[in-house]
Amino acid sequence: MADVSVESQPLIPARRIHYSKLRSYLIQFVSINALCLGYILYGWVISFTSPTESELMSIGLFNTLSFSLFSSLSLFGFSSFITSLFAKQWSCKFILMITTLCGGLGWILIIISNDIYSMILGRVLTGVHIGACMGLSMSYMVEVCNEKQQRFYGALILLPSAVALVFLYLLANYFSYRWLGVFGLIGIVLQAVLLMFSPQSPTWLLYMGFNLSAKETMIWIHGEDFDVEGEVKRIEQQISKSNEQNSYLSLSGFCRWKTIRPILIACSLQGFKGFSGQPVYYSYAASLFSRTSFNPDISALPYPILLSVGTLISVLLASHVSRKKILLVTTFMQAIANFTFFLYFMLSTHITVCTGSGSIPCVLLSIWPILSLCLYSLFYTIGWGTIAWTVYADIFDPNYKEVSAGIVTLFYALVMTCIVFIFPNFIASFGEWPFFLLLTLECVAGLCFEYFIFK
């Protein structure tokens, strides 16, 4: 760092520095909570159809085909990819604020609508919002938080959506789907308010030429004792380097094997992750327990709870165990969980073992799927749930990192949409046990991919 004379940077009173530090903590707290609300709303939107399925079907709004369409059409992948293309021109904060309007309108349609088409449109609009949150939150976090905060919140980024699932399943026992939509709308409003008081990205301000505003924002975010001039110089060097790279970036450069191979690996991980059953458990966890003697919504609660636990475990393991070893162990356990689901549905379909409500076979048959779901959710979160996203920074070509991440996110959204749409129609035609047998075989295929290809 260059020496700075006393005349060019006068001493700042300690009380003023202390005040500016408190102000910066408050600003960062507001910004982080705005982003966390985005992930909470992601969990709320994606899993909204699980505890509300029986109610929506009973009032005659949907049949099996239309409900599967309603469940699958979140379209967050398309939104994530498209909004990432405009982030440099419009800023992450501006796009997030605009998409909150889409999300709010979507929840209003879901709350007040009495026809299928308005409900599906509302589902699409909420998907546009959570797609922007998924695609831009990490970029915005990097620009308004220090490195220590980035590592901490980045590692726990899946926790808010898991917590949202816990409350969604609990509240579904006492409130109708319209009230659950109201809670989603309240979350949108809170996020919009927090974003209004969140700072603009200093990097974007410098990129657009607003140097004075960028320096003022840095002081607000980091405090008055922060080395503003040094940070401005560093960001300007990054912008200059990025502009030089853009001068030779082209389609031919993107089509090199060096760029394509990491995208194919990441897409494979996301594909195996989706076809392992995760979208099914997200969207239909409650209906999987409709045959048990327990309340379906309460029986599904271990899923989001263990998602939270698994997220914390993954943070502890990440710095001590290689990703490949974690993936091999967790994928094997997910295969075991799906296989136990397969056995459960096959036995309950072909063999009558429950002879009384208090008999041991009946109790075992009731808790069997709950234990299987606990096993799956815990190891899914430790493995594919976190690693499939965190490998982006390590394997993508730096010159095409944003585009590569957008392509992989879009691919995952297509996989998720496909399996959520297929599941109820497949079950209606062939039953549950063939579907879970396919999920088990898919996990075995993922295990082979991780062992022989993933490094």
Distance (Å, rounded) from C-alpha 103 to C-alpha 100? 5
Provide the pLDDT for residue 188. 93
Do 147 and 287 share a domain, yes or no? no
Domain termination residue (choose one: 167, 199, 231):
199
Do 266 and 182 share a domain, yes or no? no
CA nearest 284: which of 126, 52, 93?
52
Is 403 part of any domain? Answer: yes
Distance (Å, rounded) from C-alpha 97 to C-alpha 95? 5
Is 185 part of any domain? Answer: yes
Do 177 and 301 share a domain, yes or no? no
Is 362 part of any domain? Answer: yes
pLDDT category at 152 given cuts 50, 70, 90 is: low
Is 217 part of any domain? Answer: no
Is 208 part of any domain? Answer: no
For residue 161, give Cα distances in angstroms to 130, 186, 210, 279, 294: 11, 16, 35, 14, 25
DSSP string spanning 106-129?
A: HHHHHHH--SHHHHHHHHHHHHHH
Do 276 and 194 share a domain, yes or no? no
Do 160 and 300 share a domain, yes or no? no
**What domain count does the chain have?**
2
Distance (Å, rounded) from C-alpha 81 to C-alpha 86? 10
Please say if the pLDDT value at position 355 is more than 60.
no
Domain termination residue (choose one: 182, 199, 216):
199
| Residue 300, domain CATH | 1.20.1250.20
Do 162 and 267 share a domain, yes or no? no
Do 55 and 173 share a domain, yes or no? yes
Do 187 and 322 share a domain, yes or no? no
Provide the pLDDT for residue 299. 53
Provide the pLDDT for residue 18. 64
Is 10 part of any domain? Answer: no
Is 409 part of any domain? Answer: yes
Do 192 and 273 share a domain, yes or no? no
pLDDT > 90: what percent of the chain?
9
Which of 280-289, 290-299, 403-412 shows the lowest per-residue confidence on average (mean pLDDT)? 290-299
Specify the amino acid at residue 368: W
- Region of 357 (left: φ > 0; alpha: ψ -120 to 50; beta: rest) is alpha
Do 185 and 38 share a domain, yes or no? yes
Do 149 and 256 share a domain, yes or no? no
Please say if the pLDDT value at position 21 is more than 80.
no
The answer to whether 390 and 268 have CB atoms below 8 angstroms apart is no
Range of the domain at 422: 252-455
Distance (Å, rounded) from C-alpha 238 to C-alpha 225? 23
pLDDT > 70: what percent of the chain?
74
Please say if the pLDDT value at position 175 is more than 70.
yes
Is 4 part of any domain? Answer: no
77-130 pLDDT, tens digit per residue, is: 677 778 777 777 788 888 888 999 999 999 999 999 888 888 888 988 998 888
Do 45 and 192 share a domain, yes or no? yes
Provide the pLDDT for residue 374. 79
Provide the pLDDT for residue 440. 92
Within a 10 A sphere around the Cβ of 48, how many other Cβ atoms?
25
Domain termination residue (choose one: 199, 230, 262):
199
